[in-house]
Every structure is written in structure tokens, then in C-alpha cells.
Amino acid sequence: MKIGTILDQIDLGAMALPEFQRGYVWNREQVRGLMHSLYRKHPVGSLLVWVTKTDTAHARGPGELSPGVVELLLDGQQRMTTLYGIVRGKAPQFFDGNVETFTGLHFNLVDEVFEFYAPSKMKDDPMWIDVTALMLTGVGMSTVELLKVPEVAAEPQKYIERLNAVSSIPQIDLHIEQVTGEDKTVDVVVDIFNRVNSGGTKLSKGDLALARICASWPEARDELKARLKKWRAAGYYFRLDWLLRNVNAILTGRSEFSALKDVETSVFAEGLNRSEKAVDASLMMIASRLGLDHSAVLGGPAAIPVIARYWSQRGGKALNHLERDRLLYWYIHSFLWGRYAGSTESVLNQDLTHIQELDGGLDRLIEQLRSNRGDLRLTPKDFQAWSRGARFYPLLYMLTRVCGTRDWGSGVELSSYILGKGSQLELHHIFPKSLLYEHGYSRAAVNALGNFTFLTKETNLEVSNKPTAEYLPYYMEKHPDAIASHWIPTDPELWKIESYYTFLDRRRELLADAANAFLDSLVAGAVPESGLALPTELPLRSEPMGAVLDEEEESQLLDANLWVVGHALPEGEFMYELLSDSGEVIAWFDLAWPEGLQVGLSEPVALLLDEPPEMLQLANARGFRYFTDVDTFRAYVSQEVLAGEGMPAVGVGAVTP
């Protein structure tokens, strides 16, 4: 069938995209490659469609399907979406992606190459032809203007033939393979899809589950995304698979997505509503009792389905304080010891089984952790980690929020601050980074957890990078005991730069004692209410992440991630855990796309700011293309993913001085 006829079929609703298909993921380089092949009359592969009855078909987008039967694209979405966008000058109704990927394609009549519009190169040069304009208006209009160019007028036939070769691309025939038969259920077709796309973008287990759900409830995807959008506005970054885990846990008590296979649409819809309420309750419980109130400090989102399931089993009512505190005790230890760092599905299944019967469920959860760890008490050694990615970082933030820690400048307990829009705590290095670097301390030492505390923005700015031995006496006099409330040794000898390692050792001891005291009281039900001044509803935040860290590096990472998302590419994972074969965390990447910026089509990518050579070598060994500054990373995305013009070349590794 001719390409132009296929596009007509899309317009008529006779060809569409099945609901389980992912969105448009091609980049500009792939668009150029397709057009180059078609121009040169090279083969570009056949299409695979699923022929099914219209009244049982579930297609993406708002367009109406033709009566009778419809052909749903299983293989060829990227190619046909690209061609539709270039030939029609707009995206098809089923489109879900970045329209700029195929907008502005030009063809050079001299070099016979396709490139995207770059003003510095193409402006006022009549030999660059807008391909979409050519498709919409035809060769005639372009020829009239071209014949005014001396170079074209000298050899009109050659250039007109090249114009015709581009404009006739819609007349090229593509072979279409059909999948037909009453036995072709969604499960069978999805399996065919994955086999055909074995070298490309395969569907995850969550996608497969969603495909089955969308077969009977096409709006399911949008309903799920609406919940994720709400939580994102409150500073919580969750993925669709994660939400499905919660729905699955609440409806079936299982972690495997296959458990949703026989769940009826009405039951799933009701389960989604229950899950939303359960997740809201879980987040508010964690925020109001522990002060962990946004993604950057949440610690263990993979454990939330267990909390949500437990809350739902209790009838969706507030837990008594003993249950709540023991459940949160388990939650804290689950992320401190990486309970879900390995095989999430099997571990989650085990924990869901523990609470299948509520009586004794919390005891079984806690005992499971003890059997794995042997001892749940914390030691100073546990606080020897460094960087904001360390598992004990959320614990440090939590202690600040629940243990009466006071702001040095105002003297007010930090638990009283509502961390919503325009109000947030900031990370403070007790020994200034600049001073430590000046005296030869390593990055790991400078960013040790023992050197971290949290202050209000005003106080953090006031302290700035003053020497520790200079500013601590001032605040000790201004607000007695405020410094000690941060578990900072009050011996002035330890505030000297040469005593830094001794200071860290002593502060780790103080932190371990404080953490054990809080956790012991929490599990015993004896800890007093923290009195956190948090709202009863999830707050809207001024920034998607609701970051508590005002560090330059954190800001750069956030901006880079938002820039990527703004170009219709997937969001990266902050503090991505790199695991060993045994499931142990061996590194934390600042910001990473472990499946690439185009899932299944590009290599894993990591943005590693101010990291040591060992980290870069590890990233390279694990197959990550890494970047050590934001500008070089953006250049890579623009040139190699989005194929933008005028960007500097980017090499593998992309290490900058």
C-alpha cells in the first residue's frame, strides 16, 4: 500500500494505534535516516497490523474508528507517525511525543541531504527546501521560485527531478503484514508485539498489565497519569509502574502484575480510587510523623505499597498511634538497609504475605528485617557514608524534623516549618566546603553525612562559608542549646579545621545515639507526637521536586531534568542506585537514565557532577554514557537525541576539566 494511502487510512480511522503502544520515541537523527532511505529508494521495512473488530478495538487518541474493522499498528508506529507529521504538517490524533522531532525538516537540492532548520545555515538560501511545505503545496510552487536562482536555471531538469523525488515519497509502496483471527486476544497480540520489537522498545510487565486493562477501559492510562501529576505537584516523583504496584497490592495482595489479569474493569477503577486514598494517607503519615515530605528525602517509595495495603485492610481509617509508629519503624529500617534495592517484586510479595493476616502482621514485618540484618541498632559506622544519595541521608533529615532541632538564627524548632510553597530547609555544611577543599580534604570527606545539617534559607545565607570556629560561638550565645540540638559537639577544640576528622567521629556517635533513641521509642509506642506543622493535605510546591537542598549542584541537576522533560523525553532518576550482582549498592549516580533517553534505543546515560575518577570509570564499565557538566550533557541531548543544530560535538565519556 502506498504511504499516502496509509496516511489517508489513518485520517479515516481505518488504521490506528493500539492502546498498549508507547508514545513516539524517535529522535531527529532517525527521522533524517528514514527520509534519506526513502529518497534513495532504500527498503525501510514492512508494517505489521492487527486486524480486529472496531467495536472491540481500543485505540489511542480521540479520533473515531471506521465502522466494521480497524487495523492497529503493531510495528511501524515510529515510521508512520514521522511520515504523517512531515507530509501532513501536523501530528496524527494518536500522537504522544515531541512534535519538534519531525518539525522543520529541510532538503538541500545541491548536496541531497535532509537536515532540520538552522537559521545560520539556511536563512535566505533557496537551495534549502522545506519538506513539509513541499508536500503540502506541491512541486509547482517550489519550481516557480527556484527557476529564479541562476544555478537552478542553468540545469532545471536536475533540480526538478530532485524535487520530484522528495515530493513523490508518499507514492512509495510499503508492504503490510496482517495479524488476524478470533484467537488473537490482547495477550497474544502483545506477545507478538514484543517478539517483533525484541531489538527495540519492549513493553515492561507494567505495560503488559496496563495493556490488558486498557483493552476494556481505554481511559485507564489517563486516569493513572492524573494521579501521578497530582503527587508530582506536591513534590513526589512516582512512575506509572509504581502506582500499578499499589493498585495491585490493594486489590490482590500480590506484587506480580499478572495478578491483575483477571481483575474486571470496574474493580480496577475502584481499586485505583482506593489506592489514591491509601497512597495519600501513607504519604501524609510519613510526612506528618517523620517529616519526610517529598521525593528527595522519602527514602523508600518501593515500600509504600505495603503501607498502603495495610491501611486499606484497616478499612481506610486512621491507624492508632501504636500501629502507625510500628509500621513507620519498619518503613524506616526498610530503606536504611536497602530492603527493596534488589528484587523488588519477590521482596514485596514476601512482605505483603506477612500482612495478609493483620494480627501479628507488623511483628512479622519487623522480624523479617531482623532475620536479614541480625541487629537493627545503628552504630556510628553507619553514618560514615557520604553524599546526599546515602541511605542514611533521609534519616538525618528525619531526625532534624522530629527531634526538636532548632534553627540557629531564629531559635525556632525546625519541625514547626511548613515545607510547602516558598518554604524549605536547606542543606548546610557545618565545616564550609571551600575551607575543607582549601586544606586538602577529599570530596568524600567534605560531603560526609557527619558534616551535614539543615537550616532555614535565611540562616543558611547568613552563615554562608564562614569558618566553623567563627560562627558556632556566635549562635551558641544567641540561642543557647541550638547548636547542640543538631548533635554538634560543643567542644571548641573540635571546631578547628585540623580537628575535622575527630569532629566527624564524635558527631557520628551523637547521631547514632539520637537515631537509636528515636527508633526505640517509635517501635515501643513511647515517642511523643512530633508536632510537625505540616498541612493535612499534600501541599503544592513551587518546584516539582520540592527540594530541601539549595546547593548549586542540586539546582543544576533539577534544572537539567526539567529541561529534558520539557523536550518530551523521560525524566531521569535522582540518586540512582547502581547495584552489584548480589544486590548491594556500589554507587549512587546524581541523575541517570538507566534505560537511555529513548528507552530501548539508546545507551544508559548518567549526569555525574564533581565525581571522582573511580565513579566515572565505574559508570563507563557499566555501559553508561556519562557527562560531568550540564552544558555538555545538553549538547549531547540536542545533537544526538533531538538532533538540534549548532551544538558542539560530544564524545563518549564527555569528561570536562
Domain limits of the chain?
3-179, 204-320+329-373, 380-524, 552-641
C-alpha cell at 92: 496524527
Residue 508, helix vs strand vs coil: helix
For residue 42, pLDDT over 90 is answered with yes
Distance CA 91, CA 483 (A): 59
Distance CA 429, CA 472 (A): 12
Residue 15, helix vs strand vs coil: strand
Q: Which residues contact 616 (CB under 8 A, 6 or more apart)?
A: 608, 626, 628, 653, 655
Whether the Cβ atoms of residue 603 and residue 623 lie closer than 8 Å to each other: yes
Q: 268-298 burial, b for 16+ CB within 10 Å, e for fewer?
A: bbebbebbbebbbbbbbbbbbbbbbbbbbbb
Going by C-alpha positions, the residue among 91, 96, 80 that lies closest to residue 25 is 96
Whether the Cβ atoms of residue 639 and residue 650 lie closer than 8 Å to each other: yes
pLDDT at residue 300 in the model: 83
Phi-psi region of 596 (alpha: psi -120 to 50; beta: other; left: phi over 0): left
Distances (CA, A) of 253 to 109, 154, 263, 313, 652: 63, 76, 13, 10, 45
The owner of cell 544486590 is 583
For residue 651, pLDDT over 50 is answered with no
Distance CA 50, CA 187 (A): 12
For residue 564, pLDDT over 50 is answered with yes
For residue 497, pLDDT over 90 is answered with yes
Q: Calculate the average pLDDT of the chain.
A: 83
Question: Predicted confidence band at 614 (pLDDT cuts at 50, 70, 90)?
Answer: low
Whether the Cβ atoms of residue 472 and residue 480 lie closer than 8 Å to each other: no
Helices (H), 525-622: 552-566, 613-621
pLDDT at residue 468 in the model: 95
pLDDT at residue 554 in the model: 66
pLDDT at residue 378 in the model: 93
In this prediction the pTM is 0.66
Distance CA 410, CA 429 (A): 18
For residue 644, pLDDT over 60 is answered with no
pLDDT tens digits along 209-253: 777 787 678 788 889 989 988 998 887 878 888 899 999 999 999
Task: Say which range, 212-226, 280-294, 390-404, 448-462, has the weakest mean pLDDT.
Answer: 212-226
pLDDT, mean of residues 54-67: 80
pLDDT, mean of residues 480-485: 93
Pairing of strands 47-53, 176-179: parallel
For residue 610, pLDDT over 80 is answered with no
Q: Burial of 522 by CB count in 10 Å (0-12 exposed, 13-18 middle, 19+ buried)?
A: buried
Distances (CA, A) of 487 to 45, 127, 425, 513: 66, 70, 17, 10
As a whole number of angstroms, the longest Cα–Cα distance in the chain is 93
- Centre a 10 Å sphere on the Cβ of residue 356 and count the other Cβ atoms it contains: 12
pLDDT at residue 645 in the model: 36
Distances (CA, A) of 18 to 102, 182, 296: 22, 17, 36
pLDDT at residue 273 in the model: 96
Whether the Cβ atoms of residue 369 and residue 377 lie closer than 8 Å to each other: no
Question: Predicted confidence band at 262 (pLDDT cuts at 50, 70, 90)?
Answer: confident
**Straight-line distance from the first to the last Cα atom of the chain, in angstroms, rounded to the nearest whole number:** 54
Question: Predicted confidence band at 654 (pLDDT cuts at 50, 70, 90)?
Answer: very low
pLDDT tens digits along 349-399: 999 999 999 999 999 999 999 998 888 999 999 888 766 656 788 899 999
Task: Say which range, 16-25, 50-59, 229-238, 609-618, has the weakest mean pLDDT.
Answer: 609-618
pLDDT at residue 647 in the model: 33
Whether the Cβ atoms of residue 577 and residue 585 lie closer than 8 Å to each other: yes
The owner of cell 491507624 is 319
Going by C-alpha positions, the residue among 393, 384, 382 that lies closest to residue 296 is 393
CA atoms within 13 A on the CB side of 117: 15
Running DSSP on this structure, what letter comes out for residue 64?
P
For residue 65, pLDDT over 50 is answered with yes
